[in-house]
Structure 1
Amino acid sequence: MAEVLGNGLSVRDLECTRAGRRVFSGVSFDVAPGDVVQVRGANGSGKSSLLRLLCGLLQPSRGEVQWCGQRIGARDAGFEDDVAYMGHADGLSGDLSVLENLHFCLHVAGRVGAEVELAEVLHDLRLAHRAHEHVRQLSQGQRRRLNLARVVLSRRRLWLLDEPCAGLDAQGEQHFDAYLAEHLRQGGLAVVTTHRDIGRDGPCAQALEMDSFNDADSLDSDHRP
Protein backbone atom coordinates (compact mmCIF):
# COMPACT_ATOMS: atom_id res chain seq x y z
CA MET A 1 0.00 0.00 0.00
CA ALA A 2 2.85 2.42 0.81
CA GLU A 3 4.33 1.81 -2.65
CA VAL A 4 1.02 2.69 -4.30
CA LEU A 5 0.52 5.85 -2.25
CA GLY A 6 4.05 7.05 -2.95
CA ASN A 7 4.56 6.02 -6.55
CA GLY A 8 1.29 4.86 -8.06
CA LEU A 9 -2.38 5.47 -8.74
CA SER A 10 -5.02 5.15 -6.05
CA VAL A 11 -8.79 5.35 -6.71
CA ARG A 12 -11.23 5.59 -3.83
CA ASP A 13 -15.04 5.32 -3.87
CA LEU A 14 -15.29 6.88 -7.32
CA GLU A 15 -18.73 7.80 -8.64
CA CYS A 16 -19.57 9.08 -12.11
CA THR A 17 -22.78 10.92 -12.97
CA ARG A 18 -23.51 12.14 -16.48
CA ALA A 19 -26.61 14.01 -17.67
CA GLY A 20 -28.21 13.39 -14.27
CA ARG A 21 -27.70 9.61 -14.51
CA ARG A 22 -25.38 7.68 -12.23
CA VAL A 23 -23.10 5.65 -14.49
CA PHE A 24 -21.22 3.87 -11.70
CA SER A 25 -20.30 4.28 -8.04
CA GLY A 26 -18.12 2.73 -5.39
CA VAL A 27 -15.13 2.02 -7.66
CA SER A 28 -11.86 1.61 -5.74
CA PHE A 29 -8.52 0.12 -6.80
CA ASP A 30 -4.77 0.68 -6.66
CA VAL A 31 -2.11 0.46 -9.35
CA ALA A 32 1.54 0.16 -8.30
CA PRO A 33 4.58 0.48 -10.59
CA GLY A 34 4.73 -2.53 -12.90
CA ASP A 35 0.98 -3.23 -12.61
CA VAL A 36 -1.79 -3.16 -15.20
CA VAL A 37 -5.54 -3.07 -14.54
CA GLN A 38 -7.80 -4.47 -17.24
CA VAL A 39 -11.19 -2.74 -17.21
CA ARG A 40 -13.97 -4.98 -18.51
CA GLY A 41 -17.72 -4.71 -18.89
CA ALA A 42 -20.67 -4.37 -21.23
CA ASN A 43 -21.19 -1.32 -23.42
CA GLY A 44 -22.53 1.51 -21.26
CA SER A 45 -21.01 0.17 -18.05
CA GLY A 46 -18.74 3.21 -17.75
CA LYS A 47 -15.37 1.92 -18.97
CA SER A 48 -14.57 4.99 -21.09
CA SER A 49 -15.98 7.36 -18.47
CA LEU A 50 -13.69 5.80 -15.86
CA LEU A 51 -10.59 6.51 -17.98
CA ARG A 52 -11.73 10.08 -18.57
CA LEU A 53 -12.10 10.52 -14.83
CA LEU A 54 -8.64 9.10 -14.23
CA CYS A 55 -6.98 11.54 -16.62
CA GLY A 56 -8.97 14.56 -15.42
CA LEU A 57 -11.18 15.05 -18.49
CA LEU A 58 -14.22 14.44 -16.27
CA GLN A 59 -14.77 15.23 -12.61
CA PRO A 60 -16.23 12.60 -10.25
CA SER A 61 -19.47 13.29 -8.44
CA ARG A 62 -17.92 11.52 -5.45
CA GLY A 63 -14.62 10.00 -4.48
CA GLU A 64 -11.09 10.87 -5.52
CA VAL A 65 -8.10 9.89 -7.63
CA GLN A 66 -4.60 10.17 -6.17
CA TRP A 67 -1.34 10.08 -8.09
CA CYS A 68 1.85 9.56 -6.06
CA GLY A 69 -0.04 10.45 -2.91
CA GLN A 70 -1.53 13.69 -4.24
CA ARG A 71 -5.17 14.20 -5.14
CA ILE A 72 -5.46 15.18 -8.79
CA GLY A 73 -7.86 17.57 -10.48
CA ALA A 74 -8.69 18.63 -14.01
CA ARG A 75 -5.69 19.88 -16.00
CA ASP A 76 -3.23 19.26 -13.20
CA ALA A 77 -0.01 20.09 -15.03
CA GLY A 78 2.21 17.85 -12.92
CA PHE A 79 -0.06 14.88 -13.47
CA GLU A 80 -0.49 15.52 -17.19
CA ASP A 81 3.27 15.24 -17.66
CA ASP A 82 3.12 11.65 -16.40
CA VAL A 83 0.07 10.46 -18.38
CA ALA A 84 -0.42 9.11 -21.88
CA TYR A 85 -4.14 8.88 -22.69
CA MET A 86 -5.48 7.02 -25.72
CA GLY A 87 -9.21 7.44 -26.26
CA HIS A 88 -11.57 6.61 -29.10
CA ALA A 89 -10.75 9.91 -30.81
CA ASP A 90 -7.14 9.70 -31.97
CA GLY A 91 -6.22 13.35 -31.42
CA LEU A 92 -4.09 13.39 -34.57
CA SER A 93 -3.96 16.14 -37.19
CA GLY A 94 -5.12 14.89 -40.57
CA ASP A 95 -3.31 17.75 -42.31
CA LEU A 96 0.08 16.71 -40.95
CA SER A 97 2.11 13.71 -42.04
CA VAL A 98 2.70 10.65 -39.88
CA LEU A 99 6.20 11.91 -39.01
CA GLU A 100 5.01 15.45 -38.33
CA ASN A 101 2.37 14.17 -35.91
CA LEU A 102 4.90 12.06 -34.04
CA HIS A 103 7.50 14.83 -33.94
CA PHE A 104 4.88 17.13 -32.42
CA CYS A 105 3.98 14.49 -29.83
CA LEU A 106 7.66 14.01 -28.94
CA HIS A 107 8.04 17.78 -28.56
CA VAL A 108 5.03 17.95 -26.20
CA ALA A 109 6.41 15.00 -24.21
CA GLY A 110 9.76 16.76 -23.88
CA ARG A 111 11.67 14.01 -25.65
CA VAL A 112 14.69 15.04 -27.70
CA GLY A 113 16.85 12.79 -29.86
CA ALA A 114 14.40 9.90 -30.12
CA GLU A 115 14.70 9.51 -33.91
CA VAL A 116 16.12 5.97 -33.80
CA GLU A 117 13.35 4.78 -31.49
CA LEU A 118 10.77 6.57 -33.65
CA ALA A 119 11.99 4.74 -36.76
CA GLU A 120 11.92 1.39 -34.94
CA VAL A 121 8.34 1.89 -33.73
CA LEU A 122 7.16 2.94 -37.20
CA HIS A 123 8.80 -0.17 -38.64
CA ASP A 124 7.26 -2.47 -36.00
CA LEU A 125 3.79 -1.04 -36.60
CA ARG A 126 4.13 -1.21 -40.40
CA LEU A 127 3.87 2.55 -40.86
CA ALA A 128 7.37 3.35 -42.11
CA HIS A 129 6.24 3.38 -45.76
CA ARG A 130 3.49 5.88 -44.88
CA ALA A 131 5.75 8.18 -42.85
CA HIS A 132 5.46 11.17 -45.21
CA GLU A 133 1.76 10.80 -46.03
CA HIS A 134 -0.96 12.92 -44.48
CA VAL A 135 -2.74 11.18 -41.63
CA ARG A 136 -6.12 11.77 -43.33
CA GLN A 137 -5.00 9.27 -45.99
CA LEU A 138 -4.56 6.46 -43.45
CA SER A 139 -7.09 3.73 -42.76
CA GLN A 140 -8.73 3.45 -39.34
CA GLY A 141 -6.38 0.62 -38.37
CA GLN A 142 -3.33 2.61 -39.46
CA ARG A 143 -4.45 5.64 -37.46
CA ARG A 144 -4.91 3.36 -34.45
CA ARG A 145 -1.37 2.03 -34.86
CA LEU A 146 -0.09 5.61 -35.16
CA ASN A 147 -1.87 6.55 -31.94
CA LEU A 148 -0.25 3.56 -30.24
CA ALA A 149 3.13 4.77 -31.52
CA ARG A 150 2.41 8.15 -29.92
CA VAL A 151 1.80 6.49 -26.54
CA VAL A 152 4.90 4.31 -26.75
CA LEU A 153 7.18 7.16 -27.77
CA SER A 154 5.87 9.47 -25.04
CA ARG A 155 7.62 7.34 -22.39
CA ARG A 156 5.12 8.56 -19.81
CA ARG A 157 4.71 6.56 -16.61
CA LEU A 158 0.94 6.02 -16.62
CA TRP A 159 -0.88 4.69 -19.69
CA LEU A 160 -4.68 5.11 -19.80
CA LEU A 161 -5.79 3.22 -22.90
CA ASP A 162 -9.36 2.86 -24.17
CA GLU A 163 -9.68 -0.20 -26.45
CA PRO A 164 -6.14 0.17 -27.82
CA CYS A 165 -6.44 -2.98 -29.95
CA ALA A 166 -9.61 -1.88 -31.78
CA GLY A 167 -8.83 -1.98 -35.50
CA LEU A 168 -5.54 -3.84 -35.02
CA ASP A 169 -4.80 -7.13 -36.76
CA ALA A 170 -3.16 -10.09 -35.01
CA GLN A 171 0.34 -8.74 -35.62
CA GLY A 172 -0.62 -5.32 -34.30
CA GLU A 173 -2.04 -6.95 -31.16
CA GLN A 174 1.24 -8.82 -30.64
CA HIS A 175 3.18 -5.57 -30.87
CA PHE A 176 0.79 -3.96 -28.38
CA ASP A 177 1.32 -6.83 -25.92
CA ALA A 178 5.09 -6.48 -26.28
CA TYR A 179 5.03 -2.71 -25.78
CA LEU A 180 2.81 -3.04 -22.72
CA ALA A 181 5.00 -5.74 -21.19
CA GLU A 182 8.13 -3.61 -21.71
CA HIS A 183 6.39 -0.55 -20.25
CA LEU A 184 5.56 -2.53 -17.11
CA ARG A 185 9.04 -4.06 -16.86
CA GLN A 186 10.42 -0.52 -16.75
CA GLY A 187 8.15 0.34 -13.82
CA GLY A 188 5.31 1.90 -15.78
CA LEU A 189 1.64 1.55 -14.88
CA ALA A 190 -1.40 1.02 -17.09
CA VAL A 191 -5.20 0.99 -16.96
CA VAL A 192 -6.61 -0.56 -20.13
CA THR A 193 -10.17 -1.15 -21.35
CA THR A 194 -10.22 -4.14 -23.67
CA HIS A 195 -12.21 -7.27 -24.42
CA ARG A 196 -8.94 -9.17 -24.95
CA ASP A 197 -7.40 -10.96 -22.00
CA ILE A 198 -4.13 -9.06 -21.71
CA GLY A 199 -3.06 -11.11 -18.72
CA ARG A 200 -2.96 -14.57 -20.32
CA ASP A 201 0.42 -14.46 -22.09
CA GLY A 202 1.68 -11.09 -20.96
CA PRO A 203 1.78 -9.29 -17.63
CA CYS A 204 -0.50 -10.47 -14.84
CA ALA A 205 -3.50 -8.17 -14.94
CA GLN A 206 -5.97 -7.14 -12.29
CA ALA A 207 -9.49 -7.21 -13.69
CA LEU A 208 -11.95 -4.46 -12.80
CA GLU A 209 -15.46 -5.63 -13.67
CA MET A 210 -17.55 -2.51 -14.31
CA ASP A 211 -20.76 -4.55 -14.53
CA SER A 212 -20.46 -5.11 -10.79
CA PHE A 213 -19.26 -1.66 -9.81
CA ASN A 214 -21.19 -1.71 -6.56
CA ASP A 215 -19.58 -4.98 -5.51
CA ALA A 216 -16.64 -4.46 -3.18
CA ASP A 217 -15.09 -7.67 -4.52
CA SER A 218 -15.19 -6.55 -8.16
CA LEU A 219 -11.41 -6.23 -8.34
CA ASP A 220 -10.04 -9.72 -8.96
CA SER A 221 -6.27 -10.04 -9.03
CA ASP A 222 -6.31 -13.49 -10.61
CA HIS A 223 -9.06 -13.63 -13.21
CA ARG A 224 -7.37 -16.05 -15.55
CA PRO A 225 -8.87 -19.54 -15.97
Structure 2
Amino acid sequence: MLEAVSLSCRRGQRRVFSDLSVKLEAGQCCLVSGPNGSGKTSLLRILANIAQADAGQLLWHERPVQRNDSDYRRNLMYGGHAPGLNANLSVQENLDSLLLQDRVAWERQDYDQALRAGGLLAYRRVPLRQLSAGQRRRVFLVRLSLSNRPLWILDEQLTALDSAGQHFLGELIAQHLQRQGAVILTSHQALPWKLDVQHLDLGSAC
Protein backbone atom coordinates (compact mmCIF):
# COMPACT_ATOMS: atom_id res chain seq x y z
CA MET A 1 0.00 0.00 0.00
CA LEU A 2 2.60 2.56 1.15
CA GLU A 3 6.33 2.30 0.66
CA ALA A 4 9.10 4.76 1.49
CA VAL A 5 12.49 4.00 -0.03
CA SER A 6 15.83 5.34 1.23
CA LEU A 7 14.46 8.50 2.84
CA SER A 8 16.88 11.08 4.22
CA CYS A 9 16.06 14.15 6.28
CA ARG A 10 18.21 16.99 7.59
CA ARG A 11 17.47 19.93 9.86
CA GLY A 12 19.98 22.62 9.10
CA GLN A 13 23.39 20.96 9.29
CA ARG A 14 22.15 18.00 11.34
CA ARG A 15 21.18 14.70 9.78
CA VAL A 16 17.96 13.49 11.39
CA PHE A 17 17.82 10.15 9.58
CA SER A 18 19.14 8.71 6.34
CA ASP A 19 18.57 5.73 4.05
CA LEU A 20 15.34 4.93 5.89
CA SER A 21 12.86 2.56 4.28
CA VAL A 22 9.45 1.40 5.47
CA LYS A 23 6.71 -0.64 3.84
CA LEU A 24 3.11 -0.77 4.99
CA GLU A 25 0.60 -3.26 3.59
CA ALA A 26 -3.18 -3.24 3.88
CA GLY A 27 -4.27 -4.31 7.36
CA GLN A 28 -0.92 -3.40 8.95
CA CYS A 29 -0.05 -0.96 11.74
CA CYS A 30 3.42 0.51 12.27
CA LEU A 31 4.54 2.26 15.46
CA VAL A 32 7.37 4.76 14.98
CA SER A 33 9.37 5.28 18.16
CA GLY A 34 12.55 7.05 19.18
CA PRO A 35 13.85 9.77 21.50
CA ASN A 36 13.01 13.45 21.13
CA GLY A 37 14.68 14.87 18.03
CA SER A 38 14.99 11.50 16.29
CA GLY A 39 12.66 12.65 13.49
CA LYS A 40 9.34 10.94 14.25
CA THR A 41 7.21 13.93 13.32
CA SER A 42 9.46 14.76 10.35
CA LEU A 43 9.03 11.23 9.02
CA LEU A 44 5.24 11.29 9.36
CA ARG A 45 5.03 14.69 7.66
CA ILE A 46 7.10 13.30 4.78
CA LEU A 47 4.88 10.22 4.56
CA ALA A 48 1.81 12.49 4.54
CA ASN A 49 3.40 14.53 1.71
CA ILE A 50 3.29 17.67 3.82
CA ALA A 51 7.09 17.95 3.90
CA GLN A 52 9.66 16.76 1.40
CA ALA A 53 12.55 14.40 2.12
CA ASP A 54 16.05 15.47 1.14
CA ALA A 55 16.43 12.15 -0.67
CA GLY A 56 14.41 9.02 -1.31
CA GLN A 57 11.07 8.15 -2.81
CA LEU A 58 7.50 7.70 -1.59
CA LEU A 59 5.26 5.16 -3.34
CA TRP A 60 1.50 4.66 -3.06
CA HIS A 61 0.36 1.33 -4.56
CA GLU A 62 3.72 1.25 -6.37
CA ARG A 63 3.10 4.67 -7.94
CA PRO A 64 5.49 7.52 -7.10
CA VAL A 65 3.82 10.19 -4.99
CA GLN A 66 4.34 13.61 -6.50
CA ARG A 67 4.58 16.89 -4.62
CA ASN A 68 1.10 18.24 -3.80
CA ASP A 69 -0.38 14.95 -5.03
CA SER A 70 -4.14 15.48 -4.64
CA ASP A 71 -5.00 11.84 -5.40
CA TYR A 72 -2.70 10.62 -2.63
CA ARG A 73 -4.07 13.21 -0.18
CA ARG A 74 -7.61 11.95 -0.87
CA ASN A 75 -6.54 8.51 0.31
CA LEU A 76 -5.00 9.50 3.64
CA MET A 77 -6.02 11.06 6.92
CA TYR A 78 -3.27 12.89 8.80
CA GLY A 79 -3.55 13.75 12.47
CA GLY A 80 -0.83 16.07 13.76
CA HIS A 81 -0.05 17.38 17.24
CA ALA A 82 -2.73 20.07 16.89
CA PRO A 83 -6.25 18.87 15.99
CA GLY A 84 -6.66 21.66 13.41
CA LEU A 85 -10.00 22.92 14.73
CA ASN A 86 -11.67 26.33 14.97
CA ALA A 87 -12.05 27.25 18.65
CA ASN A 88 -14.92 29.65 17.87
CA LEU A 89 -17.07 26.96 16.26
CA SER A 90 -19.05 24.26 18.03
CA VAL A 91 -18.15 20.58 17.90
CA GLN A 92 -20.79 19.94 15.26
CA GLU A 93 -19.86 23.01 13.20
CA ASN A 94 -16.24 21.90 13.17
CA LEU A 95 -17.16 18.37 12.15
CA ASP A 96 -19.61 19.54 9.48
CA SER A 97 -16.89 21.70 7.95
CA LEU A 98 -14.22 19.00 8.12
CA LEU A 99 -16.43 16.24 6.74
CA LEU A 100 -17.45 18.50 3.85
CA GLN A 101 -13.74 19.11 3.23
CA ASP A 102 -13.14 15.34 3.39
CA ARG A 103 -16.02 14.72 0.96
CA VAL A 104 -17.62 12.29 3.38
CA ALA A 105 -21.27 11.43 2.71
CA TRP A 106 -22.52 10.58 6.20
CA GLU A 107 -25.87 9.49 7.59
CA ARG A 108 -27.24 11.29 10.65
CA GLN A 109 -27.46 7.98 12.51
CA ASP A 110 -23.77 7.25 11.87
CA TYR A 111 -22.85 10.82 12.82
CA ASP A 112 -24.69 10.61 16.15
CA GLN A 113 -23.27 7.16 16.86
CA ALA A 114 -19.73 8.46 16.28
CA LEU A 115 -20.32 11.42 18.60
CA ARG A 116 -21.70 9.05 21.24
CA ALA A 117 -18.75 6.67 20.91
CA GLY A 118 -16.39 9.62 21.29
CA GLY A 119 -18.19 10.90 24.38
CA LEU A 120 -19.19 14.12 22.63
CA LEU A 121 -22.90 13.77 21.93
CA ALA A 122 -23.83 16.09 24.78
CA TYR A 123 -21.21 18.62 23.62
CA ARG A 124 -22.20 18.90 19.97
CA ARG A 125 -23.40 22.53 20.36
CA VAL A 126 -20.54 23.58 22.66
CA PRO A 127 -17.80 25.87 21.25
CA LEU A 128 -14.37 24.24 21.06
CA ARG A 129 -12.85 26.93 23.29
CA GLN A 130 -14.90 25.56 26.21
CA LEU A 131 -13.58 22.00 25.83
CA SER A 132 -10.52 20.39 27.35
CA ALA A 133 -7.51 19.37 25.28
CA GLY A 134 -8.61 15.74 25.48
CA GLN A 135 -12.12 16.56 24.26
CA ARG A 136 -10.68 18.51 21.36
CA ARG A 137 -8.56 15.49 20.49
CA ARG A 138 -11.74 13.39 20.49
CA VAL A 139 -13.32 15.70 17.91
CA PHE A 140 -10.56 14.71 15.50
CA LEU A 141 -11.11 11.05 16.40
CA VAL A 142 -14.81 11.36 15.55
CA ARG A 143 -13.79 12.81 12.21
CA LEU A 144 -11.39 9.90 11.79
CA SER A 145 -14.14 7.37 12.55
CA LEU A 146 -16.38 8.84 9.84
CA SER A 147 -13.65 9.03 7.21
CA ASN A 148 -13.37 6.36 4.55
CA ARG A 149 -9.70 6.89 3.78
CA PRO A 150 -7.51 3.78 3.71
CA LEU A 151 -4.31 5.30 5.14
CA TRP A 152 -4.11 6.89 8.59
CA ILE A 153 -0.97 8.77 9.63
CA LEU A 154 -1.28 9.69 13.31
CA ASP A 155 1.26 11.73 15.25
CA GLU A 156 0.97 11.49 19.06
CA GLN A 157 -2.79 11.07 19.11
CA LEU A 158 -2.73 9.55 22.61
CA THR A 159 -1.64 12.90 24.03
CA ALA A 160 -4.21 14.40 26.47
CA LEU A 161 -6.60 11.44 26.12
CA ASP A 162 -8.01 9.81 29.24
CA SER A 163 -8.50 6.03 29.43
CA ALA A 164 -11.89 6.21 27.71
CA GLY A 165 -10.45 8.31 24.89
CA GLN A 166 -7.53 5.92 24.50
CA HIS A 167 -9.97 3.01 24.32
CA PHE A 168 -11.97 4.85 21.63
CA LEU A 169 -8.83 5.40 19.54
CA GLY A 170 -7.78 1.77 19.98
CA GLU A 171 -11.18 0.56 18.80
CA LEU A 172 -11.01 2.84 15.75
CA ILE A 173 -7.58 1.53 14.78
CA ALA A 174 -8.58 -2.12 15.28
CA GLN A 175 -11.70 -1.67 13.12
CA HIS A 176 -9.74 0.17 10.46
CA LEU A 177 -7.16 -2.64 10.25
CA GLN A 178 -9.95 -5.23 10.03
CA ARG A 179 -11.29 -3.32 7.01
CA GLN A 180 -7.80 -3.62 5.47
CA GLY A 181 -6.85 -0.05 6.13
CA ALA A 182 -3.30 0.83 7.19
CA VAL A 183 -2.03 2.91 10.10
CA ILE A 184 1.34 4.44 10.92
CA LEU A 185 1.60 6.30 14.21
CA THR A 186 3.92 7.72 16.83
CA SER A 187 3.56 7.66 20.59
CA HIS A 188 5.76 8.65 23.52
CA GLN A 189 3.96 6.06 25.63
CA ALA A 190 3.39 2.33 25.24
CA LEU A 191 0.28 1.57 23.22
CA PRO A 192 -2.52 0.53 25.61
CA TRP A 193 -4.05 -1.92 23.14
CA LYS A 194 -3.42 -5.49 22.09
CA LEU A 195 -2.67 -5.01 18.42
CA ASP A 196 -0.24 -6.71 16.05
CA VAL A 197 2.11 -3.79 15.46
CA GLN A 198 5.32 -3.41 13.49
CA HIS A 199 8.00 -1.31 15.16
CA LEU A 200 10.27 1.25 13.55
CA ASP A 201 12.81 2.67 16.02
CA LEU A 202 14.34 5.88 14.70
CA GLY A 203 16.78 5.88 17.58
CA SER A 204 18.52 2.93 16.00
CA ALA A 205 17.86 4.08 12.42
CA CYS A 206 19.87 7.32 12.66
TM-score range, shorter chain: over 0.9
Give the fraction of aligned pairs with identical amino acids, expressed as a percent.
Answer: 35
Among 96, 104, 109, the alignment partner of 2:102 is 109
Output the CA distance in 1 between the equivalents of 2:189 and 2:28. Answer: 17
Poorly superposed stretches of 4+, deviation over 6 Å: none
Output the CA distance in 2 between the equivalents of 1:84 and 1:114. Answer: 20
Query: 1:208 — aligned with what?
Result: 200
Asked if 1:147 is matched to 2:140, the reply is: yes
What is the CA RMSD across the aligned residues, in angstroms? 1.4
Query: 1:123 — aligned with what?
Result: 116
Cα deviation, residue 137, structure 1: 1.5
Asked if 1:29 is matched to 2:22, the reply is: yes
Query: 2:9 — aligned with what?
Result: 16
Query: 2:36 — aligned with what?
Result: 43
- Secondary structure, aligned partner of 1:66: strand
How high is the TM-score relative to the length of structure 2? 0.95
1:54-107 CA deviation, whole Å, 9 max, x = no partner? Answer: 011110001111111111133210001001000012111112110011111211
Q: How many residues align?
A: 206
Gaps of 5+ in 1: 1-7, 215-225
Output the CA distance in 1 between the equivalents of 2:41 and 2:106. Answer: 34
Query: 1:178 — aligned with what?
Result: 171
Output the CA distance in 2 between the equivalents of 1:95 and 1:158. Answer: 29
| Mapped contact 1:105–1:154 kept (Cα < 8 A) | no
1:91-138 CA deviation, whole Å, 9 max, x = no partner? Answer: 111121100111112112212233222211211111111101111221
Write the letter of the residue equivalent to 1:46. G
Output the CA distance in 2 between the equivalents of 1:114 and 1:200. Answer: 29
Q: For the structure 1 residues 199 and 208, does the alpha-carbon distance in structure 2 shift closer, same or farther, using more than 3 Å as the test?
A: farther
Asked if 1:157 is matched to 2:143, the reply is: no
Write the letter of the residue equivalent to 2:205. F
